[in-house]
Structure 1
Amino acid sequence: MIVLDTHALVWWIGGKGLSKPARAAIDREAKEHGEIVVSTMTAWEIMLLIKKGRLRLATDVGRWLDKVSRIEGVQFAPIDRHIALASADLPGNFHQDPADRMIVATARSLSASLVTKDEQIRSYEHIKTIW
């Protein structure tokens, strides 16, 4: 099981931008019928990126996310009260970005590695990352 950060999901679906280890980890999960987890926070973050003009999709964001959810092995993890509380109580020092905190809390709650290029997340000692 792996969790994808928002940019990792967008780059995976778009077919470019991932590092070789990130691509290999995603491919391995897909081939072995593993789980590729996406936090529902990613849907929120993608919509904000579109509204800010920092991301363009070939289709409506709802349709795009529906397409992603139909990929075998992909599942969206809800933000329940446990994730919400964990995101506000991450151990050690972690920055205050709410999307990053929710995604990291999701990966930690699942004991899963997080696929991310984000240097701040990768330097956080309380989560295993792949890039």
Structure 2
Amino acid sequence: MKTLPYKSRLELNASGDFQAQLTRWGPDYQDPSTFIDLFKTGSSYNMMDYSNPTFDDLLVKASVDEATKPADRWNTYIEAEKQLIKEDAASAPLYQNAVASLENAKLKNYERFPYASTMLKYVYLEK
């Protein structure tokens, strides 16, 4: 095992010459696809070249066939995640980011956004 600078890691990813990798990914929008689509066959983020037709079919089913059926779509993503993690052991999530904060009761117009920067333009303290 060795720690690599980012540039060296990118070169190693491109070569495919590794057995396992500890890395991270943060969501950029609030949907399961922000994580699970990384492992689609042919995805540019699928550095390990994971490929499973059953998994890929589930992603198509969730994103196309069930695009307007939220409950069905959610359950299909759960199936895909089970295939990826439980059946194939292609990924092993180790950490989930969280933030704890204290908030003054006089603070007004403060909104938390789970996947975006906090906007403070209209925030004020009530007198």
Larger proportion of strand:
1
Normalized against structure 1, the TM-score is what?
Answer: 0.29
| Structure whose residues are more often helix by fraction | 1
User: Quick one: higher RCO (CA 8 Å, sep 6+), 1 or 2?
Assistant: 1
TM-score by length of 2: 0.30
